[in-house]
Structure 1
Amino acid sequence: MNLLQALFFPPEQPGGVSSMIPYLQERFRSSRWEMDLFWLPKRIRGKGHEEVVFETFDWTRYGESHIVQKYIQTYRDYLWWTKLRLSKKYDLIHAHHPIAGLAMKQVFPDVPLIQTLHSSYERELILNGVIAEGGLEHQFLVSIYRELEHVSDRLMTVSRSFADYLSPYLDEPTRVGVIPNGFDEKRFKPVPHDNNIPQLVTVTRLVPAKGIDTLFHACAELKKRGHEYVLHIIGDGPSRSELEKLAQELGIYNETIFYGYTLHPEEFMPFFDIFVLPSRAEAFGSVFAEAALSCLALVGTNVGGIPEQIEDGVNGLLVNPDDDIELADALEKVIADPAYRYELSRSAWEKAKSRYSLTRVANELKKTYLQHQSEKKG
């Protein structure tokens, strides 16, 4: 079977999709399977000029928004690039971004399309203060879900929570499949280590939706209670300067290290002790699975797909978003009790190895692909 994995971002882009799809090629390398990857290079801007028409809604109703106009132009660019670069015949296309799926179905209308939704762009924009809830951009972006449902042979997502989130925007929400992201176990190797001072780490884009401001307030509370720690911030984003200023104002700048963007954080993540990310929204939260495979204790928020990975008190700790005192209490538990911290991290590692291994996810995807091939022949 000739497969095409249609991405939006290049494979080296950090994030859940890039943590999985490039590594799938090795698992599909056999006489039975052939897999290609395709994405839109960053240099392709303003090339597409096609008229855009969707079958389930009129996008021009929202066209006065510059964000909507930018989205439509990006879709045109993806169409232009797809037509320019792809001529090979595929048996099935698996798209991992709405723009990728819509463009692929436009160019290859007779090829079965599986569409996986990995995150909620509109939710992130709302939490980051870019768009208003219920505004033109929000209405446009949630309308895209029904269009994807209409053009896809199978609509999928990465967590039960995100499938539930999509329900109001779909005609047949019960048909949405769920396959979580998978991670190549060979990339994650727990390293025995003994840090005198507990080392906290988070790996994230620095935007309001990730709740790093709440984490800083919690860390200030920990310092007030007399706990020693070091907080490592791996990632970059538009909120960085604001967060650096907040760390100074809260008196935790000396305990906080900003690394900026790092291509392969999994290479040194195993040397830390506690992974913490108080997200305000998360469709799946791939970085929790990556931290678990690195054998770190997990502390996260009770939102989105995170509770599907963390069972509170068993393989990590869950807190409510925006509650810095509750977060400080949870961090205090794992900072003050190394034995408990190890127990949580070991349980997290065992669950991630069994549930989020790339081998398991690859096998689930193969079953899905073969099912669609047999349905097409039937």
Structure 2
Amino acid sequence: MNVAIFRESLLPYSETFIAAQAASLRRYQPTLVALKRLPNSVPLPVPSLVLPEERGLPAGGMTAFKLFSQVPRRWDKLLREQQFSLMHAHFGPDALWGLPLARRLALPLVVTFHGYDVNPTQTPLSHGYRYYQARRGHIFRSAKRVVAVSDWIRQRLETLGCPPSKIVTHYIGIDLNYFTPTRRESEPVVLAVGRLIESKGVRDLLQAMVEVQRRIPGARVVIVGGGPLEEDLKAEASRLGVRAEFTGPQTPEQVRGWMERAALFCLPSRHEAFGLVYAEAQAMQLPVVAYAHGGVPEAVRDKETGFLAPTGDKVALARHMITLLGDEPLRIRMGQAGREHVQRHFNLQHQTHLLEGIYDQILS
């Protein structure tokens, strides 16, 4: 059976998990369907269909599609040729554009909510996000199944009015064949990987590193990722006198390389639906230090695979990092426990098998 995996744009490096999940399907044949292709898209391991590239648009066609849900005939013909059985949209706002396509083809729609799409305080509130907020209830009513990437997201969806009977919690999972450690750290590196926005807590990490580097002079922090706060955070590190390396965006291979070198992973996010990067770090046998916020306690077991601090408690962050950097046997023990935790709960092949079960239920 053919399944259309819908994303408005294909596909930023921060969303390699979508491509990995699609590629791991076994009983369903996936095609990534989108409205545009990003210039620096992640390599796609499955077939893709960017509708305007294939059949173009009549004058005003995209406006008519987005404002009035008018699907161009040439798109309709192309999609019918694919003989899809189901459409799976990732992110709530994308479901707004996937829904008219699914409805035109009489396909059941599955929507996965990942985090920012259930955030009532999303800032800045763009016109597009406001429109999505106004139409979110329509998505809840129209979708056959609503997938939450954590129980925390499930609770947020229920609060926003999604019928509980439609929601299923499903962890996406990671490729344990890819995220497999081959060696351990040779230097006291604290690693953070994430978009450089306020909610990811990198500023808190830099401030905590002041005490870490006072107590452990050889320690340094490596921050992987880009974003609007990059220059501001570099200035903050300079002001604090923290030894910090900002690498900018990196490929998945480069991220994995940094995980090989690091002693621990710390991303004190203040808004995290789940955080696959925590599972990736644990799969690489890195103990994790983070805030006990949102879905993070579902990904990281406090005092077993890492340490979770109260949100905003930078003193606790520093204390936990100092403890781990100064105790190699503890790092090894927590790292091994983290790998076992991910193997039990977040194995991509097993999780995708469960996803196919969700598809089966919808189509039965």
**Same topology, TM > 0.5:** yes
Shift in Å at residue 287 of structure 1?
A: 0.5
Note the 1:58-97 alignment, pairs <5 A.
86-87=79-80, 88-97=82-91
Of residues 11, 19, 33 in structure 2, which corresponds to 1:22? 19
Provide the residue aligned with 1:3 in structure 2. 3
Shift in Å at residue 184 of structure 1?
A: 1.2
Provide the residue aligned with 2:206 in structure 1. 216
Relative to structure 1, the CA distance from residue 314 to residue 299 in structure 2 (aligned partners, 3 Å threshold; closer, same or farther) is same
Of residues 171, 174, 179 in structure 2, which corresponds to 1:188? 179
Shift in Å at residue 314 of structure 1?
A: 0.9
Shift in Å at residue 89 of structure 1?
A: 2.2
Where structure 1 has 5 or more consecutive residues not aligned to the other structure, the ranges are 55-74
User: Which amino acid in the other structure matches residue 256 of structure 1?
Assistant: A
- Taking the aligned partners of 1:82 and 1:221, their CA distance within structure 2 comes to 58
- Taking the aligned partners of 1:205 and 1:85, their CA distance within structure 2 comes to 36
Q: For 1:49, what is the secondary structure of its paired residue?
A: helix
Q: Is the 8 A contact 1:191 1:271 kept in 2?
A: no
Q: For 2:64, what is the secondary structure of its paired residue?
A: coil
Structure 1 stretch displaced more, 272-281 or 104-113: 104-113
User: Which amino acid in the other structure matches residue 63 of structure 2?
Assistant: H
- Taking the aligned partners of 2:275 and 2:75, their CA distance within structure 1 comes to 30
- Taking the aligned partners of 2:130 and 2:94, their CA distance within structure 1 comes to 20
Relative to structure 1, the CA distance from residue 346 to residue 8 in structure 2 (aligned partners, 3 Å threshold; closer, same or farther) is farther
Q: For 2:251, what is the secondary structure of its paired residue?
A: coil
- Taking the aligned partners of 1:244 and 1:177, their CA distance within structure 2 comes to 40
- Taking the aligned partners of 1:299 and 1:105, their CA distance within structure 2 comes to 39
Relative to structure 1, the CA distance from residue 193 to residue 27 in structure 2 (aligned partners, 3 Å threshold; closer, same or farther) is closer
Alignment TM-score, normalising by the size of structure 1? 0.82
Structure 1 stretch displaced more, 95-104 or 341-350: 95-104
- Taking the aligned partners of 2:136 and 2:210, their CA distance within structure 1 comes to 41
1:242-294 CA deviation, whole Å, 9 max, x = no partner?
00000000001xx2111101121124422211010000101110100111111
Of residues 119, 134, 148 in structure 2, which corresponds to 1:123? 119
Q: For 1:130, what is the secondary structure of its paired residue?
A: coil
Relative to structure 1, the CA distance from residue 180 to residue 368 in structure 2 (aligned partners, 3 Å threshold; closer, same or farther) is same
Alignment TM-score, normalising by the size of structure 2? 0.85
Of residues 316, 327, 337 in structure 2, which corresponds to 1:347? 337
Provide the residue aligned with 2:287 in structure 1. 297
Provide the residue aligned with 1:66 in structure 2. none
Q: Is the 8 A contact 1:79 1:103 kept in 2?
A: no
2:247 is equivalent to residue 259 of structure 1: yes
- Taking the aligned partners of 1:251 and 1:81, their CA distance within structure 2 comes to 59
2:64 is equivalent to residue 50 of structure 1: yes
Q: For 2:227, what is the secondary structure of its paired residue?
A: coil
Q: Is the 8 A contact 1:122 1:141 kept in 2?
A: no
- Taking the aligned partners of 1:209 and 1:84, their CA distance within structure 2 comes to 43
- Taking the aligned partners of 1:81 and 1:277, their CA distance within structure 2 comes to 46
Shift in Å at residue 125 of structure 1?
A: 6.2
Q: Percent identity?
A: 24
Provide the residue aligned with 2:137 in structure 1. 146
Relative to structure 1, the CA distance from residue 156 to residue 25 in structure 2 (aligned partners, 3 Å threshold; closer, same or farther) is closer
Relative to structure 1, the CA distance from residue 35 to residue 333 in structure 2 (aligned partners, 3 Å threshold; closer, same or farther) is same
Relative to structure 1, the CA distance from residue 84 to residue 290 in structure 2 (aligned partners, 3 Å threshold; closer, same or farther) is farther
User: Which amino acid in the other structure matches residue 93 of structure 1?
Assistant: M
How well do the aligned residues superpose, as a CA RMSD in angstroms? 2.8
Q: Is the 8 A contact 1:218 1:327 kept in 2?
A: yes
Of residues 25, 31, 42 in structure 2, which corresponds to 1:36? 31
Aligned length: 340
Q: For 2:324, what is the secondary structure of its paired residue?
A: helix
Shift in Å at residue 120 of structure 1?
A: 1.7
Provide the residue aligned with 1:366 in structure 2. 356
Shift in Å at residue 8 of structure 1?
A: 3.2
- Taking the aligned partners of 1:256 and 1:81, their CA distance within structure 2 comes to 52
1:25-82 CA deviation, whole Å, 9 max, x = no partner?
44335xx53221122324789961217669xxxxxxxxxxxxxxxxxxxx99x98996
Where structure 2 has 5 or more consecutive residues not aligned to the other structure, the ranges are 40-51
Q: Is the 8 A contact 1:102 1:151 kept in 2?
A: no
Q: Is the 8 A contact 1:146 1:171 kept in 2?
A: yes
Structure 1 stretch displaced more, 142-151 or 213-222: 142-151
